[in-house]
Structure 1
Amino acid sequence: MVKEHSFLYRLTSYFADSKLTPIIILATILLGVFAVINTPSEEEPQIVVPLIDVFVEMPGATAKEIENRVVYPMEKLLWEIPGVEYVYSTAMNGRALTVVRFYVGEDVEESLVKTYDKLYQHLDWIPPGCSMPLLKPRSIDDVPIVVLTFWGEGYDSFTLRRIVAQVDDEIRNIPGISETFIKGGLRREVRIEVDPQKIYALGLDPLEVAEIIRRQNQARLVGSFREDNYHFVVRLENFFRDLHELEQSVIKVVAGKPVYLKDVARVIDGPEEPENYVLFIPGPAAERKGIEAAPGEVFPAVSLAIAKRKGKNATKLAEKILEKIEILKGHVIPEDVQVTVTRNYGETAREKTDELLEHLFIATAAVACLVGLFLGLRASLVVMVAVPVTLAITLAVYWLYGYTLNRVTLFALIFCIGILVDDPIVDVENIVRHLRLPENRGKPFKEIIVYAVNEVRAPLILATFTVIAAIAPMAFVRGLMGPYMRPMPVGASVAMFLSMIVAFIITPWTAYHFLPKKPGEEEKESLITRYYRWVMGHLIRRPLWRWSFLFAVSLLFVAACSLFYFKIVR
């Protein structure tokens, strides 16, 4: 018997014909749309694995000396830090690199502070001649989301680098950009090629010449004075402003005559010596991609890589970057310089999320068709109102928890669509059954719906929490797979719990407004029901059928397990 004074009975009775229910439905749908628009979209979940690079230099030391005197003492200290999982070190001539990796889920800022404190609290480990450790944190957000390659006929690497440097200054002004990297090209460099014989004749060596130039290329505040109620600050401005001033710098005074830099060296203002090359070579699909160059032709190129800040939407940020590039064409970027997008993580992330959202709608439509086939069109409408409401609230929960729209979170929604409709289907099926019972003829329509929903509340609640209990433990998996798979059990568990709430609040209202108000019609068994009764009757009453069925199931189970043994399934 249904207790008419229970909390769930009164809750269902209140919302069955309440004017507040459609407002709740509309609000949840709008909340879901807001979550889809504002939740960052990415291909993969963002896994937080704090990585810290520790750089140390010891000029003149061999790799073996660096290993024994620097790396070993430093690694002992790093292993003492709580949360450290691995420490990797590379010793080279004159320098060393140590990578500290913390456990998955450790806070990045806290890990950096702990590493800094540990190294700088024990500076006695640093041998004479060794530099102070330099710490640089690394994260998944350091990976560029957009890479732009600049090239053009008649442009060399030096000119392209100067153009890209100006573009870089403009791109950095876009909110959400964390870092930019320029790869390739030749930077501007002032190179001084001294004549050894001339400087040795003056009693100097190249290091002394470099120190003399460094001392002259500086500015300093030398004092201040007051006059007529004004305060003046005196600054010694002595930076080199052009190549002529550098050539005119005095290196030494001999017999009362100054010796200028141009007298003992050749000063060259131009590109640096190349250390690497970036080339752009169009392929066979160049014309289809809109690249105006013959396939196989080689062009000097410079690439600009752009990384985003943590939590920013990669898709929207990539669109802003490309819009900015279009604005810069014609005044910062010359008309004949080509800009080719060689990586666009935002576009690929949008394609993946759009594809999964499309499959989400297809799955929802497929479920609607199945429900309509077996329960009728109006009953399917009742179920299909519950699905988008549940998914909308689940997407809002994703946004509140800081998850992103990626293949795992969206797959979780697709995965749970089949079990989301269980609670509404149980409600609707029992409501339809009660409407067809003769004893309900003449009863108020609302009373029939409320009674039918509360009649199945115990199995409905039990089934919901049984599924949650089976899925939820996946959220506590550790290691790299933990944060990667966690959105799936979290999303599925939240969706199941919300579908149960929807079954008590939304489904009675939709049933009250969508189902035909004709109680008392006797139910006629369908062909499927009659066939089901015939099969189950033989399985229950006839031992031969029963044991044959159990044997067939066991045989299929053994056959399925043998697929692994014979390596048909890997």
Structure 2
Amino acid sequence: MIIPKYAVKFRAAAFVFIVVLVMAGSTSYMGMPREGAPDVTVPFVTVMAPYEGMAPSEMENLVAIPLEKQFNDLHNVKEISSSSMEGMCVIFIEFTTDQDIDEALQKVKDKIDMAKPDLPDDLDEPTVDDLNVSTDIPILTFTLSGDPSLERLDNIAQELEDLIENVPGVRQAGVSGSLEREVRIEVDLNRLISYRIPVSAFSAILLGENATVSAGNLDTASGQKYQVRVPGEFTHVHEIKDLVLGIRGGQPVYLSDVSTVIDTYKDRASITRVNREPCVTVSVMKRAGENSIAIIDSVKEILAGYQLPDGIKLTLTEDQSKDIRMMLAELENNVAAGFILVVLVLIFFMGGRNSLMVALAIPFSMLMSFIVLSLLGITLNMVVLVSLVLALGMLVDNAIVIVENIYRHYNDGENRIEAAVNGASEVAWPVITSTLTTLLAFS
């Protein structure tokens, strides 16, 4: 084989290669993003269409069926399923594994636009998202507790959410367990009938007044053009109560005359407690391929620098950086332990110099792996770390075979250079092919 021959002939170049390998490998290892799970995008697309106040049967007929009719024309689809519940419709679309997920997302959004003529006019815009293990699982979760007022806790959580989302690499920070404000209008049908106002007209007037309307453009004498908009969205509850529904007997009929307006909160979808105290939970998700440890450390700095009011307690309930650091420490310990054990065991059979050559195969091979992984944009995650640990044994086996064969040639009377070239060349292809068969078994 030509590599052992040239490595011995040009020893200075081989030494320079080793130095570059150590420097580049160490730099790649230090710069690789750390995360718990690999960036795996499952070929699933979810469509969520909220429509408050609708029963499950109405959600199916008004939302699910029109959307499914359009989705049936999509290509590379294995299965479409939907779940309709009160005020919400969720549609799951499973694509084949060869389908590009970004292209699939765009096609689904196009189909939703095509289905809009068959959907209710007041339906909120459906949201489309894919399933990604790396970005959908929170890397850091903490709770705020200590105050009986969830509204106060929610205000603090919202402030922290805005600060955290400015951290580079953070995809989203979500708040759960908090109270969401809701203005509820309870209509008195008897009064509505007495004023001869249809329910449909009541709803149309209410929706029409709570909207910002574009009034066109305004051209000035100086040639400047301004866009004119008339803001009409409600900002206070009294604006809703004073809304005029019509004129009866020369007197205006206000919304408060036929209904009761209640400024309250939505029914909570989840209730969270920590140490038996009500709390608000904040979850931090990262972008794909970002460094989880660096992001978590930056978020912790923000939390440490935020001045919490007296009595408010912040509790970390989930911190992936601890697990990732532990996995990295285990990898480093396995490499060090493998290096030491190989030297100690082989020193009795092949001598100190030969055992050292075998042991050096471990860090050099690892450093080369880090260079390749970094160039391919692969993060240092649980799957990569487990694979590297499994590969340690195979690295030692290959090194022992090559060094032992070189040692045999040397004992047969060949000089060091001939033994190195002939011994390595003789077993090079068997070692390479045996390694490839192992790789194919795991691929």
Indicate if the aligned counterparts of 2:38 and 2:381 stay in contact, CA closer than 8 A: yes
In 1: Cα distance, 2:19 partner to 2:199 partner: 78
Aligned to 1:350: 325
Unaligned runs of 5+ in 2: none
Aligned to 1:520: none
Q: Quick one: structure 1 residues 75 and 264, their matched pair in 2 at CA, closer, same or farther if it must change by over 3 Å?
A: closer
Residue 175 of structure 2 aligns to a residue in which SS? strand
Aligned to 2:9: 14
Indicate if the aligned counterparts of 1:49 and 1:106 stay in contact, CA closer than 8 A: no
Residue 49 of structure 1 aligns to a residue in which SS? strand
Tell me which amino acid in the other structure corresponds to 1:11: Y
Indicate if the aligned counterparts of 1:49 and 1:105 stay in contact, CA closer than 8 A: no
Aligned pairs for 1:119-130 (under 5 A) are none
**How far is 1:370 from its partner?**
1.8
Does 2:367 align with 1:389?
no
**How far is 1:107 from its partner?**
2.7
Unaligned runs of 5+ in 1: 1-5, 283-297, 441-447, 476-485, 487-570
Q: Quick one: structure 1 residues 200 and 376, their matched pair in 2 at CA, closer, same or farther if it must change by over 3 Å?
A: same
Aligned residues: 439
CA RMSD of superposed structures (Å)? 3.9
Residue 318 of structure 2 aligns to a residue in which SS? strand
Q: Quick one: structure 1 residues 90 and 430, their matched pair in 2 at CA, closer, same or farther if it must change by over 3 Å?
A: closer
Tell me which amino acid in the other structure corresponds to 1:453: A
**How far is 1:120 from its partner?**
7.0
Tell me which amino acid in the other structure corresponds to 1:35: S
Find 2:277's aligned residue among 277, 290, 299: 299
Which has more radius of gyration?
1
Does 2:4 align with 1:37?
no
Tell me which amino acid in the other structure corresponds to 2:6: L
**How far is 1:46 from its partner?**
3.8
**How far is 1:142 from its partner?**
1.4
Structure 1, residues 533-568: CA drift from partner, whole Å, max 9, x if none? Answer: xxxxxxxxxxxxxxxxxxxxxxxxxxxxxxxxxxxx
Find 1:313's aligned residue among 281, 288, 291: 291
Aligned pairs for 1:404-483 (under 5 A) are 404-426=379-401, 428-429=403-404, 448-475=415-442
Aligned to 2:139: 145
Does 2:149 align with 1:159?
no
**How far is 1:237 from its partner?**
3.5
Overall identity of the aligned pairs, in % = 25
**How far is 1:389 from its partner?**
1.4
In 2: Cα distance, 1:39 partner to 1:322 partner: 21
In 1: Cα distance, 2:297 partner to 2:405 partner: 50
Q: Quick one: structure 1 residues 13 and 92, their matched pair in 2 at CA, closer, same or farther if it must change by over 3 Å?
A: closer
Aligned to 1:51: 44
Q: Quick one: structure 1 residues 338 and 367, their matched pair in 2 at CA, closer, same or farther if it must change by over 3 Å?
A: same
**How far is 1:11 from its partner?**
0.5
Structure 1, residues 102-156: CA drift from partner, whole Å, max 9, x if none? Answer: 34464321333455567777x699699998976432221212222221111x332
Aligned to 1:491: none
In 2: Cα distance, 1:230 partner to 1:462 partner: 77
- State the TM-score, normalizing by the size of structure 2: 0.82
Residue 349 of structure 2 aligns to a residue in which SS? helix
Indicate if the aligned counterparts of 1:89 and 1:97 stay in contact, CA closer than 8 A: yes
**How far is 1:309 from its partner?**
1.4
Aligned pairs for 1:31-430 (under 5 A) are 31-55=24-48, 63=57, 66=60, 74=68, 78=72, 81-82=75-76, 84-91=77-84, 96-104=89-97, 106-115=99-108, 135-140=128-133, 141-152=135-146, 154-204=147-197, 207-222=200-215, 223-227=217-221, 234-269=228-263, 271-282=264-275, 298-327=276-305, 329-330=306-307, 333-426=308-401, 428-429=403-404
**How far is 1:469 from its partner?**
3.4
In 1: Cα distance, 2:226 partner to 2:89 partner: 49
In 2: Cα distance, 1:125 partner to 1:208 partner: 22
Q: Quick one: structure 1 residues 135 and 411, their matched pair in 2 at CA, closer, same or farther if it must change by over 3 Å?
A: closer
Tell me which amino acid in the other structure corresponds to 1:356: L
Indicate if the aligned counterparts of 1:363 and 1:414 stay in contact, CA closer than 8 A: no
Tell me which amino acid in the other structure corresponds to 1:322: K
**How far is 1:21 from its partner?**
3.3
Q: Quick one: structure 1 residues 280 and 95, their matched pair in 2 at CA, closer, same or farther if it must change by over 3 Å?
A: closer
In 2: Cα distance, 1:193 partner to 1:76 partner: 36
Q: Quick one: structure 1 residues 191 and 136, their matched pair in 2 at CA, closer, same or farther if it must change by over 3 Å?
A: same
Residue 315 of structure 2 aligns to a residue in which SS? strand
Indicate if the aligned counterparts of 1:66 and 1:91 stay in contact, CA closer than 8 A: yes
In 2: Cα distance, 1:147 partner to 1:33 partner: 32
Residue 374 of structure 1 aligns to a residue in which SS? coil
Indicate if the aligned counterparts of 2:141 and 2:318 stay in contact, CA closer than 8 A: yes
In 1: Cα distance, 2:165 partner to 2:232 partner: 30
Tell me which amino acid in the other structure corresponds to 1:162: N
Indicate if the aligned counterparts of 2:39 and 2:288 stay in contact, CA closer than 8 A: no
More strand as a share of residues: 2
Structure 1, residues 40-98: CA drift from partner, whole Å, max 9, x if none? Answer: 3334444332111245689978749948996599489649722x344434355787533
Indicate if the aligned counterparts of 1:318 and 1:346 stay in contact, CA closer than 8 A: yes
In 2: Cα distance, 1:133 partner to 1:241 partner: 25
Q: Quick one: structure 1 residues 118 and 150, their matched pair in 2 at CA, closer, same or farther if it must change by over 3 Å?
A: same
Q: Quick one: structure 1 residues 48 and 229, their matched pair in 2 at CA, closer, same or farther if it must change by over 3 Å?
A: closer
Structure 1, residues 287-333: CA drift from partner, whole Å, max 9, x if none? Answer: xxxxxxxxxxx322111222221112222222222222223x21xx4
Tell me which amino acid in the other structure corresponds to 2:180: R
Aligned to 1:291: none
In 2: Cα distance, 1:277 partner to 1:133 partner: 22
In 2: Cα distance, 1:194 partner to 1:72 partner: 31
Tell me which amino acid in the other structure corresponds to 1:250: V
Q: Quick one: structure 1 residues 53 and 363, their matched pair in 2 at CA, closer, same or farther if it must change by over 3 Å?
A: same
Indicate if the aligned counterparts of 2:42 and 2:130 stay in contact, CA closer than 8 A: no
Q: Quick one: structure 1 residues 397 and 111, their matched pair in 2 at CA, closer, same or farther if it must change by over 3 Å?
A: same
- State the TM-score, normalizing by the size of structure 1: 0.66
Q: Quick one: structure 1 residues 27 and 176, their matched pair in 2 at CA, closer, same or farther if it must change by over 3 Å?
A: same
**How far is 1:339 from its partner?**
1.6
Indicate if the aligned counterparts of 2:151 and 2:179 stay in contact, CA closer than 8 A: yes
In 2: Cα distance, 1:181 partner to 1:189 partner: 19
Indicate if the aligned counterparts of 1:217 and 1:238 stay in contact, CA closer than 8 A: yes
